[in-house]
């Protein structure tokens, strides 16, 4: 190559780099616009569905009412709280508000008509105790689920400014979804806010004009994901590289993800469990160490944002197909098992079933249907890892038999399972799902909860035998005996006694 050619090639390369840079800038601008369009489209769609003209929410005056009753005795903590509530809130209040009462001076919750179709008439979920918001709250608890405690810590050590307000620029949903008729059925959605992904945009006036702090409880984004097992799925021909969902020979996938924080409508939650609201409130109050006294004193507040983990939806293919009854849907509902899901522990079938679920969901989407995996933060059957490991020890120190499997958990936790699937189908309603063609789960509890919510399951698909780790036979056979779905054999108690796992001495500590 002579110098001229080299110079020419260098010029071409530099031009190409410029074009690439410009393309990236363009793509990011398009992304930015798409986000805004999604939020606008979402806001318009819910308003159109409600057939109302967009109107700003009625401005509430935050006028401080005065107490007319004379003070006859020294102020009790209740009265102190009342006085505090009357005082124009300042960012640094010196007095602690232990609790509030309905009708108390200064208490002026923003209207909340759960199940109302029109988001303006329904009202925003307001839980913050920030300046300007504390008296307008219509929800008990805090944002962030279990992370609310870290938020409290960050405030305590002044890592977050007292008057910090979130800036939601460019955080709009990556795709538009709904609204679906299920969103305005107060019996179908009781454990999440159907408008949670649009909250800052739907309720902008409350934020801007009334200084009320409102945050989204749902966020929607897009990503690529790579699971090492799926490289094999491509190699073995089960997954095809299509450049759209399965992007390359490594089995890299394009996915739309929805993160959802729990928002409980207490009357609806109580009804799902067949108990009365008072019993639910009392139990939530007592068994969280009395953390949420407003559960008892504020019967007018019907929403509770519990300090628990939420869920993530992984959707493969076109999100708009999820709600189309003419399109096939494959679904896995998976409850967290960190040891297996992330770290590959072989005592259970969690990660293998999760991988199988992802693979089948992708296949369905590639065949023109849609595929969804929903991941719930319910570690160790919602008993947590400490209880889970205690159970492992009890199992492995005795003889780890399938016939004893559930008894070990029950002896320690007092219950076999605390996942209580009754609230799980809410997310299916929210996604607009009306039937499931292939349910990638053997759990009778998940099956029954979904079917009870009026969503038929056409086919149940067990985990293939070859994906079951040897040591996890104890668990899976015990579960099948207890009612888990199988296309194979359900063992008798005698046979279960012969299904044994690895002993204590074999466990590599």
Active-site residue set: 417, 419
Q: How far is CA 503 from CA 128, 390, 474, 478, 500, in A?
A: 51, 15, 12, 17, 8
Tell me the pairing of strands 311-316 and 253-260: antiparallel
- Closer to Zn ion by Cβ: residue 317 or 462: 462
Shortest spacing between CB 351 and Zn ion, in angstroms: 8
Please identify which residue in the block is written with the tokens 């110098």. 3
- Closer to Zn ion by Cβ: residue 285 or 353: 353
Please identify which residue in the block is written with the tokens 């995996």. 373
- Closer to Zn ion by Cβ: residue 230 or 350: 350
Shortest spacing between CB 319 and Zn ion, in angstroms: 29
Q: Determine what percent of the chain falls in helix, strand and coil, rounding each to the nearest 5.
A: 40, 10, 45
Shortest spacing between CB 506 and Zn ion, in angstroms: 19
Q: Which two tokens stand for residue 301?
A: 């507040």
- Closer to Zn ion by Cβ: residue 117 or 419: 419
Closest CA to 111 of 122, 119, 100: 122
Shortest spacing between CB 239 and Zn ion, in angstroms: 24
Binding interface with Zn ion (CB under 5 A): 337, 340, 348, 350
Residue 112 · residue 120 · CB < 8 Å: no
Shortest spacing between CB 362 and Zn ion, in angstroms: 22
DSSP state of 500: B
Q: How far apart are CA 392 and CA 407, in angstroms?
A: 12
- Closer to Zn ion by Cβ: residue 127 or 348: 348
Residue 81 · residue 127 · CB < 8 Å: no
> What is the distance between the terminal CA atoms of the chain, rounded to a whole angstrom?
63
Shortest spacing between CB 473 and Zn ion, in angstroms: 13
Q: How far apart are CA 470 and CA 466, in angstroms?
A: 10
Tell me the pairing of strands 264-265 and 253-260: unpaired
Closest CA to 306 of 373, 374, 382, 199: 382
- Closer to Zn ion by Cβ: residue 115 or 469: 469
Q: Which two tokens stand for residue 381?
A: 């059957």
């Amino acid at each position: 190559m002579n110098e001229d050619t080299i110079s020419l090639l260098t010029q071409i390369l530099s031009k190409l780099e410029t074009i690439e840079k410009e393309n990236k800038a363009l793509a990011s601008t398009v992304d930015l616009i798409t986000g805004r369009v999604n939020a606008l489209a979402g806001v318009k769609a819910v308003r159109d569905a409600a057939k109302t003209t967009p109107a700003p929410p009625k401005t509430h005056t935050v006028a401080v009412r005065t107490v007319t009753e004379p003070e006859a005795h020294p102020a009790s903590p209740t009265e102190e709280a009342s006085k505090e509530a009357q005082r124009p809130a300042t960012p640094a209040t010196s007095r602690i508000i232990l609790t509030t009462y309905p009708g108390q001076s200064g208490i002026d919750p923003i209207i909340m008509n759960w199940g109302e179709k029109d988001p303006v008439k329904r009202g925003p979920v307001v839980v913050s105790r920030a300046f300007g918001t504390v008296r307008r709250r219509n929800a008990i608890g805090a944002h962030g689920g279990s992370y609310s405690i870290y938020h409290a810590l960050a405030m305590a050590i002044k890592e977050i400014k007292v008057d910090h307000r979130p800036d939601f620029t460019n955080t709009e949903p990556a795709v538009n979804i709904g609204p679906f008729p299920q969103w305005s059925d107060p019996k179908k959605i009781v454990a999440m806010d159907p408008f949670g992904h649009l909250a800052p945009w739907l309720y902008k006036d409350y934020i801007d004009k009334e200084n009320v702090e409102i945050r989204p409880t749902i966020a929607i984004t897009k990503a690529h994901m790579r699971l090492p097992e799926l490289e094999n799925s491509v190699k073995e021909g089960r997954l095809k590289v299509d450049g759209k969902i399965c992007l390359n020979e490594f089995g890299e996938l394009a996915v739309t993800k929805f993160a959802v924080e729990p928002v409980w409508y207490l009357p609806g939650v109580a009804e799902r469990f067949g108990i009365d609201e008072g019993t639910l409130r009392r139990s939530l109050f007592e068994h969280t160490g009395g953390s949420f006294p407003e559960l008892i004193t504020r019967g007018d507040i019907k929403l509770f944002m519990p300090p628990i983990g939420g869920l993530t939806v992984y959707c493969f293919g076109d999100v708009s197909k999820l709600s189309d009854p003419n399109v096939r849907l494959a679904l896995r509902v998976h409850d967290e098992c960190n040891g297996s899901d992330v770290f590959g522990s072989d005592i259970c079938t969690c990660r293998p079933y999760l991988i199988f679920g992802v693979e089948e969901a992708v296949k369905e989407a590639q065949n023109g249907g849609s595929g969804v995996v929903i991941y719930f933060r319910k570690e160790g059957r919602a008993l947590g890892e400490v209880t889970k490991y205690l159970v492992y020890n009890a199992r492995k120190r005795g003889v780890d038999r399938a016939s004893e499997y559930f008894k070990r958990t029950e002896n320690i936790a007092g219950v076999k399972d605390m996942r209580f699937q009754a609230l799980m189908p809410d997310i299916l309603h929210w996604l607009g799902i009306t039937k499931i063609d292939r349910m990638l789960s053997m759990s009778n509890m998940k099956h029954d909860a979904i079917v009870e919510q009026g969503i038929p399951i056409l086919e149940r698909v067990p985990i293939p035998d070859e994906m079951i780790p040897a040591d996890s036979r104890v668990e899976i056979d015990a579960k099948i005996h207890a009612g888990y779905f199988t296309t194979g054999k359900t063992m008798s108690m005698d046979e279960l006694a012969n299904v044994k796992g690895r002993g204590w001495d074999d466990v590599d500590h």
